[in-house]
């Protein structure tokens, strides 16, 4: 499966927007881009996913570059509860199958 | 149930002891996954069930690890003769295709295993 690259850590202030980047230069045409997050002492939680077009849901927005070699998860107004490890994951084809998490980005939100 | 339930929440085992970790998936979910998460790392895939069939066990690190899901609902991950390197959080996830393409997987809170 194609690999993703994320910064180890990022910081934000509460109520400010957060842009979490992910590089996936070897993405193939059938790879979907998924984001999960993991709060302390919890299992991972699904955030959002997309293929080519930008996506919005109640939790976040996903901006996908035109060449699909990178994407950005956008939290429009960070709260203290958004402090977590964020994982960018590629999945292939029509079934999700196993997920390859990597080490993700640790997001710290300051009050 | 409302979510994926895992028990026990914490387990301390003496080296060489056998342990059994339980996962209760969301009712009706066909797919069930086990992952292992070492401290400071992302979760790593162990095995996958579709109903009672174990379709992929390529992530199990050794033959001391065994998983089953005999009736296609509850699953048990068993580790025989535990070793210190088995210390990790063991996560269970379930889903119901094709809804996993919309809602993703639902993970439990995990079982933290410490081998002493």
Q: Do A43 and B41 touch (CB under 8 A)?
A: no
Q: Do B105 and A97 touch (CB under 8 A)?
A: no
Burial class of A8 by CB neighbour count within 10 A (0 to 12, 13 to 18, 19+) = exposed
Task: Compute the distance between CA of residue A92 and CA of residue A29 in angstroms, rounded to an integer.
Answer: 9
In chain B, the residue whose alpha carbon lies closest to the alpha carbon of A102 is B42
In chain B, the residue whose alpha carbon lies closest to the alpha carbon of A41 is B109
Q: Do A96 and B95 touch (CB under 8 A)?
A: yes
DSSP-based helix, strand, coil % in chain B, nearest 5? 5, 45, 45
CA dihedral B108, B38, B67, B22 (to 10 degrees): -40
For B72, left (φ over 0), alpha (ψ -120 to 50), or beta? left
Tens of pLDDT, residue by residue over B29-86, are 999 999 999 999 999 999 999 999 999 999 999 999 999 999 999 999 999 999 999 9
What is the reported pLDDT for B2?
76
Interface residues from chain B to A (CB-CB < 8 Å): 4, 33, 40-45, 48, 56, 59, 91-93, 95, 97, 100-101, 103-110
Tens of pLDDT, residue by residue over A25-46, are 999 888 889 999 999 999 999 9
Strand extents, DSSP E, chain A? 9-13, 18-23, 31-38, 45-50, 55-56, 61-64, 70-75, 84-92, 105-110
Interface residues from chain A to B (CB-CB < 8 Å): 34, 36, 41-47, 49, 85, 87, 95-104
Please give, rounded to a whole number of angstroms, the shortest distance from the CA of A100 to a CA of chain B: 7
**Is residue A97 pLDDT above 80, yes or no?**
no
Share of chain B above pLDDT 90, in %: 90
DSSP SS3 for B76: strand
């Amino acid at each position: 499966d194609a690999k993703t690259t994320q910064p180890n850590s990022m910081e934000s202030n509460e109520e400010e927007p957060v842009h979490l980047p992910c590089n996936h230069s070897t993405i193939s045409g059938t790879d979907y881009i998924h984001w999960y997050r993991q709060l302390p002492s919890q299992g991972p939680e699904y955030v959002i996913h997309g293929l080519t077009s930008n996506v919005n849901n109640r939790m976040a927005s996903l901006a996908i570059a035109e060449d699909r070699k990178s994407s950005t998860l956008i939290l429009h107004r960070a709260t203290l509860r958004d402090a977590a490890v964020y994982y960018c994951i590629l999945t292939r084809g029509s079934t999700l199958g196993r997920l390859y998490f990597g080490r993700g980005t640790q997001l710290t939100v300051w009050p | 149930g409302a979510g994926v339930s895992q028990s026990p929440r914490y387990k301390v085992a003496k080296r060489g002891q056998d342990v059994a970790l339980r996962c209760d998936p969301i009712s009706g979910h066909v797919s069930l996954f086990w992952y292992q998460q070492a401290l400071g790392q992302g979760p790593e895939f162990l095995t996958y069930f579709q109903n009672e069939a174990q379709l992929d066990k390529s992530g199990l690190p050794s033959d001391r690890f065994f998983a089953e899901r005999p009736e296609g609902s509850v699953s048990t991950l068993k580790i025989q003769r535990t070793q210190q390197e088995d210390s990790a959080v063991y996560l269970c996830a379930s889903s119901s295709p094709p809804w996993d393409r919309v809602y993703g997987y639902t993970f439990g809170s995990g079982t933290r295993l410490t081998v002493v």
